[in-house]
Structure 1
Amino acid sequence: MTRILIVDDQDDMRAGIRTMLALDPSLVVTGDLSDGLQVVPFLRDHPVDLVLMDIRMPGIDGVEATRRIRKEHPPEELRVIVLTTFDQDDIVLAALRAGANGFLSKTVSPAELVAGISEVVRGGGALSAAATAALIGHMTDSPPPVIDRELLRRFDALTPRERDVVVLVASGLGNEEIAAQMSVSPFTVKTHAVRAMTKVGARDRAQLVSFTFRAGLYP
């Protein structure tokens, strides 16, 4: 059972998310809040496994609320997925740097939302296609002036197949698209990606993309 806190300043949005989550009996909404300032106090009194966080809110925004969560709750203890209609690269990067584990658009389908939650709860990361494109766009437009040699050495531990998957992940492709291109199953792609994340020390798919670019392994 996954206990979820919804944080969004729009009443209809919180109600809509509740409706989508009700489709999966393993997901339980423990509360919903309309203000980012309420999040940390709520978490002190209520056990939660995952927070669905809006970006634009009164008081403090979702990035700052996530940053405050991380001061008291490490990623392995509490997961955060940012939900927003905004997919600009600066917002994606700010949310990830604040400690978010995933970034999904509010336009995702109920199935995509549930799948994203499941992926993040299992220790992976979730990025919508638009958020992935924004992240990759930022990395491409602003490549690191110096290659991170330590990160590059970590990638030396990857098998050729794992490296191929990593580069395709960094190009913005999903598991099924990569599977079709490599003539393997989506499960095999996911296995390679997870092993690659373990070897390079990436906590999730988003950080794997960041590490790939910082190591100079451009698609």
Structure 2
Amino acid sequence: MIRVMIVDDQEMIRVGLRTMLEAHPDIEVAAEAGDGLLALRLLAKTPVDVVLMDIRMPGIDGVETTRRIRRGHPAEEVRIVVLTTFDHDENVFAALRAGANGFLGKGVGPAELTTSILEVAAGGGALTPAATAALIDHVARDAGSRPEPEIARLFETLTPRELEIVEAVVSGLDNAEIAALMSVSPFTVKTHANRAMTKVGARDRAQLVTLAFRAGIRP
């Protein structure tokens, strides 16, 4: 059973997320919090596997809450998924740097939400096509147009198949779509993606996309 904490200052959003999550037999909503400080207190006494974290909240925001969670809970212990509106929230990238493992839009549907939670809990990262596009857009604004040689050299260590899968990930495809495109199983895709992340030092899919873009890999 995957235990989830929902952190959002809007009760209606928490209700909606809880309803979608609890409809899945392998997911349990173990705790809810309306602000970051309460989330930290609850986390100290309530074991959870995944935190769904809003960015903009009263008190300390989602970025600072994520940073504080990471001080006592490594990614192997607690996974953090940021909830955002993508285009209107620059802070989501600060949250990724603070230790979040991915991000989803607040308008996410039940199937996408539960699939993302299961993927993140298993060690992956929540990064939908819309999220990938938003991430690349912001990275492109911050990064130069030329590839960074040191990062590009990391990607030269990948096998042709691993590089092919990285390129597909950067294009916004999920594991199932990549598997169908390459006529392999989703498990095979996940295995190659995980090996690529290990080789380039990416902790999750979001960081893999960021590094790939800086290495000159474009969608």
Q: Is the TM value for this pair above 0.5? A: yes
Structure-2 change in CA distance of 1:124 and 1:34 (3 Å) = same
TM-score, reference length from structure 1: 0.89
Tell me how far 1:140 sits from its aligned partner. 2.4
Q: Which moved more, 1:208-217 or 1:142-151?
A: 142-151
Cα deviation, residue 118, structure 1: 0.6
Structure 2: 5+ residue stretches without partners: none
Q: Distance in 1 between matches of 2:119 and 2:64?
A: 24
What is the root-mean-square deviation in Å for CA atoms of aligned residues? Answer: 2.1
2: CA distance, partners of 1:173 / 1:89: 23
**Separation in 2, partners of 1:218, 1:26:** 36
Structure 2 SS opposite 1:202: coil
Aligned to 1:192: 192
Q: What corresponds to 1:35 in structure 2?
A: 35
SS of match in other structure, 2:197: helix
Amino acid at match of 2:113: L
Shift of 1:184: 4.4
Q: Kindly, what percent of the aligned residue pairs are identical? A: 63
State the shift of 1:161 in Å.
Answer: 1.6
Where does residue 130 of structure 1 map in the other structure? 130
Partner residue of 1:70? 70
* 1:139–1:73 CA distance, 2 compared to 1 (3 A): same
C-alpha distance in 1, partners of 2:42/2:87?
A: 28
Give the deviation of 1:144 after TM superposition. Answer: 4.0
The answer to whether the 8 A contact 1:165-1:192 is kept is: yes
**Counterparts in 2 of 1:42-191, with a 5 A limit?**
42-88=42-88, 90-144=90-144, 147-191=147-191
- Partner in structure 1 of residue 209 of structure 2: 209
The offset of 1:3, in angstroms, is: 1.5
Partner of 2:18: 18
- Structure 1 unmatched runs, 5+: none
- Partners of 2:125 and 2:14 in 1: CA distance: 22
**Structure 2: how far apart are the matches of 1:144 and 1:119?**
32
| Partner Cα separation in structure 2 for residue 65 and residue 153 of structure 1 | 34
What's the TM-score once normalised by structure 2's chain length? 0.89
Aligned residues: 219
1:90-118 deviation per Cα after TM superposition (whole angstroms, max 9, x unaligned): 23311211111110112111111110011
